[in-house]
Chains A and B, each alone.
Chain A
Amino acid sequence: MELTVDQDLDALTLTVTATFDHPVDKVWDLYADPRKLERWWGPPGAPATVIEHDLHAGGIVHYKMTIDGGQEHHGRWDVESVDAPNSFVVLDRFANADGSPAADMPTTTMRFALAPTEAGCQMVCVAEYASRELHLDKGRLSNETRRAA
């Protein structure tokens, strides 16, 4: 597995490029299968549970991340477009417990592309902050909670 991460400060984007020693279909499954997605999306301190999963244009993926003490933070993907198993685009947002989008919170657009390589598959994810008000990625919440305690 190889990984490069590039930041663009004035476009407010992060580009993650990773190559895996497995074919495109297997990497696609990590997103398309909710039982797989929840195993890697959250960090060890805040594992994710996927509650709803409809990875089609217009669908949503509703998930929550559970901090050690039991506190839950909900998020959702508004799925903009899907071209399985090659690419998809979602709007990642904070959500309420019932999966509805949280009001007045920043959003992140994520564009994923998978391409076959000699050894397996290359994944490119471009995450773009949509708001001038920047907040922490939900994946970091576990550390934030520990600091606040």
Chain B
Amino acid sequence: MSQNDEAESEQLSLLPGPRRRRATSRPAPKAAQTDPVARVVVDTGLAHLDRLFDYLVPADLADATRRDILRRAVEGELSVSRLAEAYPMSFAAVQKHIAVLERVGLVTKQRRGRELLVTSDRDAVDRARRALDELAEAWKGRVQRMADLLAEGN
């Protein structure tokens, strides 16, 4: 094989397996409420895919997927391509979810050789959880005091 063919094979091996398109058309999926359209770049190095795509992020997959990606990242390091195999959506869509988790500081990507690993920033996850827990406790107290004040009457 020529060098180019080898390089392309390596890159193609990162893609999840081919999906068969069903002959019957399906209704358009309900889009996610926030960020319904992800403008993505497909990271395969194939020239004809080297442009921006608009991907419709399905509502039922959006949040559950991010939580699942976070769970996997907390359990152990995973390459972006291995993560992508786990979800019934395009590689680019998985990258978009990872990007959201990165933006809020819950995961980081680290290059190891040719692979991109998604790791959880445990400290950030713990801090986030603790901060939200504490805010929740503060509000439980506030709502009780509001109810007490209302009961006092005017």
Contacts and interface: CB of A to CB of B under 8 A. Distances in A.
Given A9-B106, A12-B104, A1 B149 contact: no
B100 A5 contact: no
B140 A43 contact: no
Contacts of A123: 143
Interface string A96-137: 000000000000000000000000000101010100101111
B137 interface: yes
Contacts of A16: 136, 139, 143
A140 B133 CA distance: 11
A134 B132 CA distance: 9
B150 A14 contact: no
A100 B106 CA distance: 31
A10 B100 contact: yes
A137 B145 contact: no
A94 B67 CA distance: 31
Given A30-B146, A136-B131, A5 B104 contact: no
- Majority secondary structure of chain B interface residues (helix, strand, loop or mixed): helix
30 contacts: A1-B147, A7-B136, A9-B67, A9-B106, A9-B128, A10-B67, A10-B70, A11-B104, A12-B104, A12-B128, A14-B132, A14-B135, A16-B136, A16-B139, A18-B146, A20-B146, A20-B147, A22-B150, A26-B150, A30-B146, A39-B149, A40-B142, A40-B149, A125-B139, A129-B131, A136-B134, A137-B131, A137-B138, A140-B134, A140-B138
Interface of A: 1, 3, 5, 7-12, 14, 16, 18, 20-22, 26-27, 30, 36, 39-41, 43, 123, 125, 127, 129, 132, 134-137, 139-140
Interface of B: 34, 63, 66-67, 70, 100-101, 104-106, 124-125, 127-150, 154
